[in-house]
């Protein structure tokens, strides 16, 4: 039988520290791609669950051996795929402590320090992201659940305005809610629309202009069609392909005057408020009704971490609030479960607090500016190689390049294949890691920089890897 043994615990944590440090140390030299195949990984792990118990040190040593080659180097500085941040040292260490403390951060009564630290995080985040001080907030698993949280508030508000109580009466028989958004919308918004029972058929995806922005005339036209219908408008602060921002100073008042709720997907873009050079991109965003962003991307908090904010707390709370006689509800403190979709939950505030504290205002501003500079350098330098074109010059930390098939008469499909082939060759080199996208019908390689660990020398290595891939 397993009983408490302090030595056993100590040995396991000490060994985990050694293994973790060795892993982090290897990130600058190890291949950034996976080198073990699916079949190999399955072969290593697919054993029947043994009957007998095992020693903790032996377990973590075996696990460390068996994951080798199956971990991406996304915690390092040479990873430019999707939108992935690493973990800041204080945030990672605090995340370990969070597991050791093992608080259930659903209620103040269940984790008093965790509740107070989340309160502080909420204030700090609103401050650095440029959001109104009166907004309510929730720390959730990522931007996906931040959308769900914010759009639940939105659904409650637009239906309440139409005289319908969605909490009590549900959606069957309710006035239909529509969601107006642009072609830059992220799939997580669509998923939130499905989860909340609004339905994708009630989503109108409006065409963006050539610079990936939704024009006020286009939104205006959509709003005036079926005026008075409960409406949620979802706008982008930094889209996943080009990092484009919608023109908030025009769009937000337009939508709100028409009675719509405005939600902003700021997974990346909200962090631009931390940088004086980029802050102008967010002008007018503070007037929206709700905002969603991530902690595990640009803030470099370990997975998983996201943030939801709602300008009118009563709608946020109406979407989530929970009471039960066996729980202990606080009178003057903040019970997290009144704001989050989870019930029992990780004390996610600690790592966020540590990341913000480690960076400070100047460190955050520098991190944002540095990632943008490196994304720009990678895209421009790779884009200047033969038969490469920059399709989107990064204005923030996202950009697109496309590789061209130099054979005479090559078609767009040939360029698509060339793009995927060059990207695969770069990734196979283990020097840098990129992922692709189909943008306006064309395959492109995305350049995405969100890691605090990326350096100028990592940028050189990415460019050199692309050069070699093009020669190969
Ligand atoms: C990553 C991303 C999301 C989803 O965030 P998760 O943290 O993965 O849930 C939403 N919108 C945009 C623009 C993103 O880049």
> What residue segments make up the domains of the chain, in order of their start?
6-71, 104-346, 357-471
Mean pLDDT of the chain: 97
Using pLDDT thresholds of 50, 70 and 90, give the confidence band for residue 325.
Answer: confident
CA of 343 to the centre of ligand 1 (A): 23
Please say if the pLDDT value at position 350 is more than 80.
yes
Using pLDDT thresholds of 50, 70 and 90, give the confidence band for residue 6.
Answer: confident
Asked if residue 381 lies in contact with residue 390, where contact means CB atoms within 8 angstroms, the answer is: no
CATH 2.60.40.420 matches 104-346: no
Please say if the pLDDT value at position 87 is more than 80.
yes
Backbone angles phi, psi at 442, to 5 degrees: -115, 135
Predicted TM-score of the model (pTM): 0.97
Using pLDDT thresholds of 50, 70 and 90, give the confidence band for residue 295.
Answer: very high
- Between CA 447 and CA 391 the distance in angstroms is 11
- Between CA 434 and CA 436 the distance in angstroms is 7
Per the model's pLDDT, the better-predicted residue between 325 and 226 turns out to be: 226
| Predicted pLDDT at 329 | 84
CATH number of 357-471: 3.90.1150.170
Helices 349-383 and 112-129 pack at an angle, to 10 degrees, of 30
Using pLDDT thresholds of 50, 70 and 90, give the confidence band for residue 330.
Answer: confident
CA of 266 to the centre of ligand 1 (A): 8
Using pLDDT thresholds of 50, 70 and 90, give the confidence band for residue 446.
Answer: very high
Average pLDDT in the 116-130 region? 98
Please say if the pLDDT value at position 322 is more than 90.
no
Average pLDDT in the 305-319 region? 96
- Between CA 250 and CA 265 the distance in angstroms is 17
Average pLDDT in the 331-357 region? 96
Using pLDDT thresholds of 50, 70 and 90, give the confidence band for residue 292.
Answer: very high
Asked if residue 350 lies in contact with residue 98, where contact means CB atoms within 8 angstroms, the answer is: yes
Question: Count of CB atoms within 10 A of residue 471's CB?
Answer: 9
CA of 385 to the centre of ligand 1 (A): 31
Please say if the pLDDT value at position 359 is more than 80.
yes
Instruction: Return the half-sphere exposure (C-beta side, CA atoms, 13 A cut-off) of residue 268.
Output: 30
Atom of ligand 1 nearest to the CA of 147: 10
Q: What share of the chain in percent tops pLDDT 70?
A: 100
Average pLDDT in the 199-215 region? 96
CA of 202 to the centre of ligand 1 (A): 22
Which residue from 403, 472, 412, 462 is spatially nearest to 433, judged by alpha carbons?
Answer: 462
Q: What share of the chain in percent tops pLDDT 90?
A: 95
- Between CA 463 and CA 432 the distance in angstroms is 9
Please say if the pLDDT value at position 1 is more than 80.
no
Please say if the pLDDT value at position 158 is more than 90.
yes
Using pLDDT thresholds of 50, 70 and 90, give the confidence band for residue 425.
Answer: very high
pLDDT tens across 361-404, in order? 999 999 999 999 999 999 999 999 999 999 999 999 999 999 99
User: Ligand 1 test: best mutation among 82, 83, 187, 450, most atoms within 8 Å of CB?
Assistant: 83
Please say if the pLDDT value at position 323 is more than 90.
no
CA of 265 to the centre of ligand 1 (A): 8
pLDDT tens across 232-290, in order? 999 999 999 999 999 999 999 999 999 999 999 999 999 999 999 999 999 999 999 99
Which residue from 292, 213, 282, 220 is spatially nearest to 256, judged by alpha carbons?
Answer: 220
- Nearest CA owner, ligand 1 atom 12: 267
Output the CA angle 319-339-86, nearest 5 degrees: 125
Residues with C-beta less than 6 Å from any ligand 1 atom: 83, 142-144, 186, 188, 240, 265, 267-268, 294, 306
């Amino acid at each position: 039988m397993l009983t408490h043994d302090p030595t056993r615990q100590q040995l396991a944590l000490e060994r985990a520290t050694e293994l973790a440090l060795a892993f982090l140390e290897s990130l600058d030299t190890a291949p950034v791609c996976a080198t073990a195949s699916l079949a190999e990984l399955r072969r290593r792990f697919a054993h029947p669950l043994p009957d007998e118990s095992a020693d903790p040190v032996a377990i973590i040593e075996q696990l460390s051996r068996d994951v080798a080659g199956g971990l991406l180097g996304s915690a390092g500085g040479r990873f430019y795929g999707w939108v992935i941040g690493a973990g800041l040292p204080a945030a990672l260490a605090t995340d370990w402590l969070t597991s050791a403390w093992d608080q259930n951060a659903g209620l103040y009564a269940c984790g008093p320090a965790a509740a107070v630290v989340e309160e502080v995080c909420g204030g700090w985040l609103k401050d650095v992201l440029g959001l109104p001080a009166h907004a309510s907030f929730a720390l959730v698993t990522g931007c996906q659940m931040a959308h769900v949280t914010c759009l639940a508030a939105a659904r409650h508000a637009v239906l309440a305005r139409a005289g319908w109580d969605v909490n009590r009466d549900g959606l069957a028989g309710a006035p239909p809610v529509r969601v107006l958004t642009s072609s830059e919308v992220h799939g997580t918004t669509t998923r939130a629309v499905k989860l909340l029972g609004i339905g994708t058929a009630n989503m109108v995806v409006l065409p963006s202009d050539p610079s990936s922005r939704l024009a006020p005339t286009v939104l205006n036209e959509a709003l005036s069609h079926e005026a008075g219908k409960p409406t949620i408008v979802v706008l982008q602060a930094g889209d996943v392909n080009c990092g484009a921002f919608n023109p908030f100073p025009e769009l937000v008042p337009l939508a709100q005057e028409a009675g719509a709720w405005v939600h902003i997907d700021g997974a990346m873009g909200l962090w631009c408020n931390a940088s004086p050079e980029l802050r102008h991109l967010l002008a007018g965003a503070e007037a929206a009704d709700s905002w969603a962003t991530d902690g595990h991307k640009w803030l470099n908090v370990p997975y998983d971490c996201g943030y939801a904010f709602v300008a009118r707390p009563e709608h946020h709370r109406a979407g989530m609030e929970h009471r039960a006689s066996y729980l202990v509800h606080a009178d003057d403190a903040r019970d997290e479960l009144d704001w989050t979709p989870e019930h029992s939950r990780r004390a996610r505030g600690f790592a966020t607090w540590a990341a913000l504290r480690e960076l400070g205002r100047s460190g955050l501003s520098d991190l944002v500016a540095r990632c943008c500079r490196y994304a720009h350098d990678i895209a421009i330098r790779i884009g200047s190689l033969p038969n490469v074109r920059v399709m989107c010059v990064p204005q923030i930390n996202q950009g697109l390049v496309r590789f061209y098939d130099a054979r005479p008469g090559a078609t767009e499909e040939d360029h698509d294949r060339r793009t995927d082939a060059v990207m695969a060759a770069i990734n196979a080199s283990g020097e840098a890691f990129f992922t692709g996208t189909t943008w306006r019908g064309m395959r492109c390689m995305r350049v995405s920089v969100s890691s605090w660990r990326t350096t100028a020398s990592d940028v050189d290595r990415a460019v050199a890897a692309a050069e070699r891939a093009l020669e190969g």
